[in-house]
Structure 1
Amino acid sequence: MALRSAIYNSLDNGFVENALFLCGLLQPEDVHLKAHCMLQAGQYKAAYDAAKRHTNLGCVYVFARACLGLERFSEGAHALEKARIYWEGRGQKQIESRRFIPDSSACYTLLGKLWAGHGDSKRAMESYIEALKLNPLLWDAFTGLCHLGAFVRPVNIFKLTPMLASMSQPATFNGDTFLDISEAKDPFVSTPEPESHDHGYAPSLGPTAAPPRRSVRLLGSRIAAATSTNFEERRELRKAKATGTKGTNRSLSTVGRVVSGNRKPPVEISEDSKPDLRPSSTAVSGLPAPKMAPLNDSARAQDSIQRILDLLVKMGTGYAHLSRFQCVQALDAFAAIPAQYRETPWVLSQIGKAYYELSRWSEAEKVFQRIREKAPSRMEDMEVFSNVLWQLKKETDLAHLAHTLVEQDRLSPQAWCALGNAFSLQREHDQAIKCFTRATQLDPKFAYAFTLQGHEHVANEDYDKALYAYRCAISADNRHYNGWYGLGQVFEKMGKYDVAEKHYRAASQINPTNALLAVKIGLVLDRMKKTQPALIQYVQAVALDPRSNLARFRKAQIHLKLNQPQEALRELEVLKDAAPDDANVHFMLGRTHKKMGQRANAIKHFTIALNLDPKASQYIKEAMESIGEDEDDGGYSSEGSRA
C-alpha cells in the first residue's frame, strides 16, 4: 500500500511528524502503525490510549512500551505476560517485515525493564536472562542485569546463538505479522520457572537498603531565567524523553561526593556505532556470482558477528566489574579493548568513572577532557566530570563546563548538576540546591542529583531536608549507595550512631570496595565504645586502599586508644611521609612518642604541629603538658569529602 510505504519512509528518514500526519489518512483498522508513530514521537499517553483496546501482538508491544514511558510498569508487564504464548519463541527471521512486530528477545527485554521499574528484581533478571539467551547483542538487557546487582559472566553471555546465526541467512518475510490474542483464556500468563543451568548469571542483589565539589558571577544572573520552564521547553523535554536518554542509572560515583551517579544508567550503543551486519557481495559486476557465494557470504557474516561478540565480551567484562565497583579490574578489562574502540566516548567514560571511584581525580580529569575533545556535545556522565572538578577545586574550569553544558542542552539533568556543583564550590548552597532540584524535575529518576541536594542541605545544617533528599535518591535507585551514605552521615551528625551504622553498612554492602565507607563504620563504632570492632573496620579500610591517609590515621588513633603505641607509630610513620605538612599527623606522633616515654621526640612533633597550625596552640600546649591522656580525634576531620 502506497500510504503505508510513505509512512515507513518518513519514519526511516526521521520525519516523525510527517508520519503522524499521514497516519491520519489510514483506515481505522490500521491502529498498530498509528500507535507506533505516536510512540516514536514520544506521545506515550496517545499511544497508550490507541493501543490498549486492541489485541494484536504489535499493539500489545506498543502498549507495553507506552506503559514503560508512563511508568505504569505493572500494567505493561501484565499485558506482555498475557500475550506471552504468542511472542515466546518468535525468531527474528519470522518477522523481518515492515510491520514493527517484536521478536521474543525484544519482548523479554521490554518485560525486564517493566519488572525492574515495578521493583520486581527477580522477574526482571529472569526476563533479561531469557533475552540474552536468544540475542546477546541486546546490550540493554546486559546492563539491566548489572544495574540490578546480578553477578554476570560476560564470556558465557556473548556467544553465538541460533537467532544470531539466522542473521547471516537470507531474510524471509512473513506477511502474517498481526497475531490476535483476543482468544487468550488466561488474562495473566505466569512466567515459567527458569531452568537450572549456568548461562553466565548469578543473582546477587544489594539490600533493600558516597566524594569533593564555584562559578563566575555570570552564572548567578542566569539562574532565575534558566530555572523556568515554558511551553516550548516542555515540548522539547517530551521529545528528549522519547529518545530514552535520561540521567538515570548513571551509574557510579565516590562517598560524600567521594563515595560516589547511578550510575544505575542503562548504557546504549547508538545505531551509528553498531557494526554493519550485512554480508558483503562477492559478485563481480557483469559476471555471475560463484555458486558458493551465498555460503561464503553467510560464513563472512557469522565471522563479523563473532568479532562483535568478542568485543562485547571485553566491554561487558569491564562494565560488569565497574558495576560491582571493582575499579582496578575494570580498568584492566577496558585496557584490553582494541585501541579504536577504547578511544570511543563510551569506553573513555567508563574509564573516567573508574578513576573517579578510586579517587584518582587528576587521571579522571584527563580522561573526561579527552571525551570533551572527541564528543563536545556528549551529555552522558558529565555530572561525574563536574564532580571531579569539584574535588580538584577548579572553580574556573567547573564554571566553564557548567556554562557550556547549559548552553548546549538546558533540558539535560547533567548540565544542571554541573551548574549546581559550580555554585556549591563557591559555597552558594541555596543556588546549588535550586540547580539540583531542576535536575530532578527534568529526570525524577536521576538519583545522584537528589544526593547532591542532600549534601547542600547538610552544608546548610538543614538535616530534615537532607534526610528527605537522600531518601528520594534511594527511592529513585535502591542500589545508589551514595544515598545510603548520606543518610548515615546525617544520623551521625545527629548523634544517632546505631542508626548511622545501619545505613553505612547498607552502603558498604552495595559498594564493598570503598575504603571511606569502612572508615565511617569504624568511626561510629568507636563513638559507641566498640573499640575492637572499630579497629577491624580500619584495618579493612587500609587493606582496601593503602593510599587512604584517613584510614591510616584512624587506625593509628585506635591503636593508641588500645595502648598499642608501636602499632600506631608504624602507621604514623607512613603518614608522615605521605603528608609531611599535616599538623594532625605530627600531633598524633607527639602523643604516640609521649606514651612510649620518648619525651624528646614527643616535644619535637608537638612543636612541628604548633608551627603548622598556630590556631591550635592552646590545644597542643595542653597535650604537651599532660602525660598519658588520649585526646579524642586529634582534630582530624573527614568532612571535606562527600559521596
Structure 2
Amino acid sequence: MIIQEPVQAAIWHCLNHYDFADAVFLSERLYAEVKSDDSLFLLATAYYRNGQIDHAYQILKDKHGCSPQCRYLFGSCAFDMQKYAEAEAVIMENISSKNNFEEVINIYGDQAAFTLLLIAKIAAKTERRQRAVDALKRALKINPFLWSSFEMLCKLAEKPDPNSIFQLNELDNLTKCHGNNLQYITTPQQILTKSSVNDMNNRMVFTPEDSMLVNANSLCMSGFGLLSAPKVKRLRCRTVDSSAGASPNFGMLFEREEHSTPTTPHPTLTEANEQKSFTKKVRAHVGNLINRNEAILKNIKPVFSQSSNVTNTISITPSTPAPMPTGPNVRRSSRLFTSSYSAVKENNKSPNRNKFATPKSPSRKTKTRLAKCSLNELNTYMDLNTLNRLKKEKSETVTSTDNKNNSAINLNMVNPIQIQKQSAEGLMHLLRDIGRAYLHLSQFNCKSAINEFNNLPSHQFHTTWVYGMLGVAYFEMADYENCVKYFSDIHSKEPCRLNYMDIYSTALWHLQKEVALSSLAQDLVQINKNSPITWVVSGNCFSLHKEHDTAIKFLHRAVQVDPSFPYAYTLLGHEYIMTEELDKAMSCYRNAVRLDPRHYNAWFGIGTIYSKQERFHLAEINYNTALSINNYSSVIMCHIGMVQHAQKKTEKALYSLNMAIKNDPKNALCKFHRGSIYFAIGKYAEALKELEELKEIVPKESLVYYLIGKVYKKLGNTDLALMHFSWATDLDPKGASSQIKEAFDPSIGRSTEMESPASPSAEDGQSESNSVQQQEPLGFASLHEDSDDSL
C-alpha cells in the first residue's frame, strides 16, 4: 500500500515556506500515484498559490464534486476568472435551495464562513444585493473575525451594528473561527498515531518537530521489540514482485503491509548500546521540553486585552496534570495549559522569587529505571512521574507585580480557556471600536468617524490603515491639508502601499502642490507599473499642469489595467468635461455607477453634464441621487441650489444653500451663490452682507469684488462701486475688464440685471456666451473646478 501522509506533509511544508515550485512538483507526483480527493485538492492548492489559477481551474473542472474542499477552491478559481455563474453553481451543488445557508454550513464545516463570503461576492458582482447582505450577515454570525464581511456590508449601504456583530456569545465560536489551527500538529494529516505519544503531547508543550522526533525514534526502536509499527489505514494496494530484482518505484518506497512489523535485531548496533543511547537522547530531550514549557508559561498572556494598565509577572509551579481530552482535535490551549497550577504565598525574603528554578537532574534510581523501561513505559513515565517529581523537588514562587500593590495572584483561578477567550474578547472589543468608526465613514459622517478613530489605543491609532481611514475622512470633508498630512506619513512609512494614493493625489491636485504630486507619480511608477492607482496618480499630475490630453491617456491606461476601478472612470469623466467631450464623459460616469452604484462622485458628474446642457431638471435628479448617498456634502447641496435657482425655484435654492452653509460654514462657493441669489431677487442688503463675509474668506477673488461693486451700484453708491471695480481689475485685469464695461454700459446692464452671476452654465468659468457668469476670473473659476473634481 502507499502511505501518502509523509508526502502531503512535505508538500504543505513547501507551501508554508513559499516554495511553490517544489510544492507543485511534489503534488503532481503524488496525484499521479494516488487519485484521491485529498491529493487533487493539494495539487489544485499548489497551482492556485503559485499563481496558476487557470491550471487549478482546469484540473478541478470535471472533478470538483467529490469533496467540499475541492468545490470551494474551484468556486474561488472561477470567481477570480470572472465566471460567476459557474462559481455559484459549483458551490451550491447538492443544496436544495439557493437561500438555504444552513445546508451550506453543514456541508462546508470550517469553510462555511468563507464559502458564504464567496457567495456574497458573487451576488454583489451579479447585482443581487439582498442575497449578498444575507450571506454576509450569516458569515459574520459564524465567524466574527471576518472584517472584510463587515466592510462589504458597509459598502452595500447596510448599517450593521458593530456591538452585536463582534461578539463571542458561545465558546464554540472560537473553534468555528479557528478551525483546527489551535492544534500544534498543523499538517493536514496527523503523522503520530501511537496513543502513548498522543497522550504525552496532550500534557506537554510539543512542537510538531518534537512530536515527529519522538515518533521517528519510536519507529527506530521497533526492531528491538519495544514498539510495533502502527497500523496504517490502507489507501491503495498494489503487488510488488521483489524477486524480479527491479528498483522500487515511487509507490514501492511507501509499500507496507497492514500488520505489525516483525521484530528483527538491528543490523549494526547491539540491543544494550542502542537502548542506552536512545534513553540518553530521550532524557535530554525531555529536559529541554520541560525548560521550554516553563519559559512559555512564564510569558503567557492574552494577545489582545481590554485593559492594559496592570502588568502581571507570573511564575508557575507545575502540579499533577489534569486529565485532558485526546484525539486529533485537541486545541492549542489544551496543549499550552495542561496542568492545574496553584499559587503559593510570596516569599519576600527569597532573592529568586521572580525567577524560575532550574530543574534538577534525575536521580541515579531514576536513571536506572529509565534505562530499563520499555518505550511505552518511558512515555508514561515522562508524562506523569516526571512532572510529579518536579512538583516535589522544585519550589517555585508565584508573584504578581502591580504598580500600586504587590498582591499575589491565585493561579487556581486562571482557567486556560478563560485566558484564550479573554484574548479573543480583547480583539472583539477592538473590532467594535474600529467598526463604529468605519460605519460612520461609510455613511460619510466623517466628523464622528474621526472622533472614533482618535479614541483608539495609541499603538493601534499609529498604523497606516488607521491613517488611511483618517485621510479619506478629511478628504471627504474637503480638509485637504490634514488629508495630505496623513497620506504623506503613509507614503513615507510604507512607500509600497498603494491603497488610497489616488485620493492622496487628488488632494494634492486641489492644493496645487505640483512638486509633491510629480514626486508621488514618479515614486509609484518605479514601485508598480501594473497598478491602476499608479496611472491615476500620473493622470492627476498632468491634469494639474493643464495637459488634459495627456491626463486622459494615463487615465485610459488605468481603466485598461483594472476595468473595475470606478474612481478611474470618474476622473476620466472629469477630464473629458475639461475638454468639452461631454458624450465621452457621460459614458465614463455611467461605467463608474455600473461598477459601484454608491459611487456618488459619478452621479455628481452626470448632474454636471446635464447642467452644462441646461437640462436642469435631469441635473437636479442626479444631484439628488448623489446627495442621497452622501448627505453631508456641502458641494452637492450647493449645486442643487444652483440648478433650482436656474429653474426659478428660488425658495428651494436658498434652502439648499442654507443647508450647505450649515454643514460647512466656510464653503466659499456656497456663500458666493447665496449672495448672487440675494442680488438677483433684489435683497441687496443681504447680498452685501454675504459678500463682505466672503471677502474675508477669499480675499483675492476678483469676482467677489466685482459683485460687491454691482451691489453698490444698485444701491446708488457709485464711489464704493468704482472702488470695488478697481480692486477687481487689479486682481484680474483681463477677466474684469469686460465685466466692468458691462456694469457701466446701460444697454448691457439692462439686459443682464436679472441674470444671476451664479448661473449653473458658468460654474466652470468657460466662455460659451456673453453672460456675466461665463466671464468669471480664473481664480474663482478654479475654485469651481476644484469643487467638481473633488467629487
Partner in structure 2 of residue 147 of structure 1:
155
- TM-score under structure 1 length normalisation: 0.77
Partner in structure 1 of residue 686 of structure 2:
567
For the pair 1:584 / 2:703, whether they are aligned, the reply is yes
Partner in structure 2 of residue 131 of structure 1:
139
* Alpha-carbon displacement from aligned partner over 1:271-292 (angstroms, at most 9, x marks no partner): xxx9799759467785579998
Bigger RCO (CA 8 Å, 6+ sep): 1
* Alpha-carbon displacement from aligned partner over 1:251-283 (angstroms, at most 9, x marks no partner): xxxxxxxxxxxxxxxxxxxxxxx9799759467
Which amino acid counterpart does residue 134 of structure 2 have in structure 1? E
Q: Which has the larger radius of gyration?
A: 2
Partner in structure 2 of residue 466 of structure 1:
585
For the pair 1:454 / 2:573, whether they are aligned, the reply is yes
Partner in structure 1 of residue 68 of structure 2:
57
C-alpha deviation, 1:386, in angstroms: 1.2
Alignment of 1:362-373 (within 5 A): 362-373=481-492
CA–CA distance in structure 1, aligned partners of residues 178 and 505 of structure 2? 44
The partner residue of 2:21 within 17, 24, 41 is: 17
Alignment of 1:106-505 (within 5 A): 106-162=114-170, 163-166=172-175, 171=182, 281=336, 296-505=415-624
User: Is the Cα–Cα contact under 8 Å of residues 606 and 624 in structure 1 kept in the other structure?
Assistant: no
C-alpha deviation, 1:532, in angstroms: 2.4
Tell me whether 631-640 or 31-40 shows the greater mean CA deviation.
631-640
User: Is the Cα–Cα contact under 8 Å of residues 355 and 363 in structure 1 kept in the other structure?
Assistant: yes
The partner residue of 1:104 within 92, 112, 115 is: 112
* Alpha-carbon displacement from aligned partner over 1:582-609 (angstroms, at most 9, x marks no partner): 2222222223334445454444433332
Alignment coverage as a number of residue pairs: 541
User: Is the Cα–Cα contact under 8 Å of residues 95 and 104 in structure 2 kept in the other structure?
Assistant: no
Alignment of 1:88-99 (within 5 A): 88=102
* Alpha-carbon displacement from aligned partner over 1:321-376 (angstroms, at most 9, x marks no partner): 11111111111111011111111111101111111111111111111111122212
Which amino acid counterpart does residue 569 of structure 1 have in structure 2? L
Partner in structure 2 of residue 6 of structure 1:
10
Partner in structure 2 of residue 69 of structure 1:
80
Distance change >3 Å, CA 488–CA 7, structure 1 → 2: same
Partner in structure 2 of residue 80 of structure 1:
91
C-alpha deviation, 1:575, in angstroms: 0.7
C-alpha deviation, 1:402, in angstroms: 0.9
**Structure 2 gaps, min length 5:** 190-302, 306-330, 340-355, 360-386, 392-409, 758-772
* Alpha-carbon displacement from aligned partner over 1:385-433 (angstroms, at most 9, x marks no partner): 1111111112221111111111111111111111111122222222222
* Alpha-carbon displacement from aligned partner over 1:74-96 (angstroms, at most 9, x marks no partner): 3323432335589848889x99x
For the pair 1:632 / 2:767, whether they are aligned, the reply is no
Distance change >3 Å, CA 425–CA 64, structure 1 → 2: same
Partner in structure 1 of residue 207 of structure 2:
none
User: Is the Cα–Cα contact under 8 Å of residues 470 and 484 in structure 1 kept in the other structure?
Assistant: yes
For the pair 1:623 / 2:634, whether they are aligned, the reply is no
* Alpha-carbon displacement from aligned partner over 1:222-272 (angstroms, at most 9, x marks no partner): xxxxxxxxxxxxxxxxxxxxxxxxxxxxxxxxxxxxxxxxxxxxxxxxxxx
CA–CA distance in structure 1, aligned partners of residues 484 and 622 of structure 2? 30
C-alpha deviation, 1:174, in angstroms: 13
Tell me whether 26-35 or 321-330 shows the greater mean CA deviation.
26-35
Partner secondary structure for residue 137 of structure 1 = coil
Distance change >3 Å, CA 362–CA 168, structure 1 → 2: closer
User: Is the Cα–Cα contact under 8 Å of residues 53 and 77 in structure 2 kept in the other structure?
Assistant: yes
Which amino acid counterpart does residue 60 of structure 1 have in structure 2? R
User: Is the Cα–Cα contact under 8 Å of residues 419 and 432 in structure 1 kept in the other structure?
Assistant: yes
Partner in structure 1 of residue 352 of structure 2:
none
User: Is the Cα–Cα contact under 8 Å of residues 304 and 426 in structure 2 kept in the other structure?
Assistant: no
Partner secondary structure for residue 130 of structure 1 = helix
Partner in structure 2 of residue 181 of structure 1:
none
* Alpha-carbon displacement from aligned partner over 1:461-491 (angstroms, at most 9, x marks no partner): 2222212222222222221111112222222
Partner in structure 1 of residue 35 of structure 2:
28
C-alpha deviation, 1:38, in angstroms: 2.4
Partner in structure 2 of residue 188 of structure 1:
none
User: Is the Cα–Cα contact under 8 Å of residues 23 and 46 in structure 2 kept in the other structure?
Assistant: yes
Partner in structure 1 of residue 676 of structure 2:
557
Which amino acid counterpart does residue 28 of structure 1 have in structure 2? K
CA–CA distance in structure 1, aligned partners of residues 424 and 524 of structure 2? 37
Partner secondary structure for residue 639 of structure 1 = helix
The partner residue of 2:57 within 48, 54, 61 is: 48
User: Is the Cα–Cα contact under 8 Å of residues 183 and 332 in structure 2 kept in the other structure?
Assistant: no
Distance change >3 Å, CA 293–CA 10, structure 1 → 2: farther
C-alpha deviation, 1:112, in angstroms: 1.1
Which amino acid counterpart does residue 785 of structure 2 have in structure 1? E
**Structure 1 gaps, min length 5:** 96-100, 179-273
Partner secondary structure for residue 689 of structure 2 = helix
CA–CA distance in structure 2, aligned partners of residues 589 and 350 of structure 1? 41
CA–CA distance in structure 2, aligned partners of residues 157 and 597 of structure 1? 66
Distance change >3 Å, CA 138–CA 293, structure 1 → 2: farther
Which amino acid counterpart does residue 374 of structure 1 have in structure 2? K
Which amino acid counterpart does residue 632 of structure 1 have in structure 2? S
CA–CA distance in structure 2, aligned partners of residues 427 and 124 of structure 1? 43
C-alpha deviation, 1:7, in angstroms: 1.4
CA–CA distance in structure 2, aligned partners of residues 443 and 607 of structure 1? 52
Partner secondary structure for residue 151 of structure 1 = coil
CA–CA distance in structure 2, aligned partners of residues 632 and 292 of structure 1? 79
User: Is the Cα–Cα contact under 8 Å of residues 101 and 135 in structure 2 kept in the other structure?
Assistant: no
User: Is the Cα–Cα contact under 8 Å of residues 57 and 87 in structure 1 kept in the other structure?
Assistant: no
- TM-score under structure 2 length normalisation: 0.64
* Alpha-carbon displacement from aligned partner over 1:610-643 (angstroms, at most 9, x marks no partner): 3323321232243246588244315354234312
User: Is the Cα–Cα contact under 8 Å of residues 444 and 476 in structure 1 kept in the other structure?
Assistant: no
Partner secondary structure for residue 569 of structure 1 = helix
CA–CA distance in structure 2, aligned partners of residues 327 and 294 of structure 1? 44
Partner in structure 1 of residue 647 of structure 2:
528
Kindly, what percent of the aligned residue pairs are identical? 32
Which amino acid counterpart does residue 466 of structure 1 have in structure 2? A
Distance change >3 Å, CA 278–CA 363, structure 1 → 2: farther
Distance change >3 Å, CA 509–CA 168, structure 1 → 2: closer
The partner residue of 1:513 within 618, 625, 632 is: 632
Tell me whether 424-433 or 404-413 shows the greater mean CA deviation.
424-433
Which amino acid counterpart does residue 476 of structure 1 have in structure 2? L
Distance change >3 Å, CA 369–CA 293, structure 1 → 2: farther
User: Is the Cα–Cα contact under 8 Å of residues 110 and 179 in structure 2 kept in the other structure?
Assistant: no
User: Is the Cα–Cα contact under 8 Å of residues 451 and 483 in structure 1 kept in the other structure?
Assistant: yes
CA–CA distance in structure 2, aligned partners of residues 340 and 155 of structure 1? 22
User: Is the Cα–Cα contact under 8 Å of residues 634 and 660 in structure 2 kept in the other structure?
Assistant: yes
User: Is the Cα–Cα contact under 8 Å of residues 125 and 145 in structure 1 kept in the other structure?
Assistant: yes
CA–CA distance in structure 2, aligned partners of residues 619 and 174 of structure 1? 82
Partner secondary structure for residue 160 of structure 1 = coil
Which amino acid counterpart does residue 447 of structure 2 have in structure 1? V
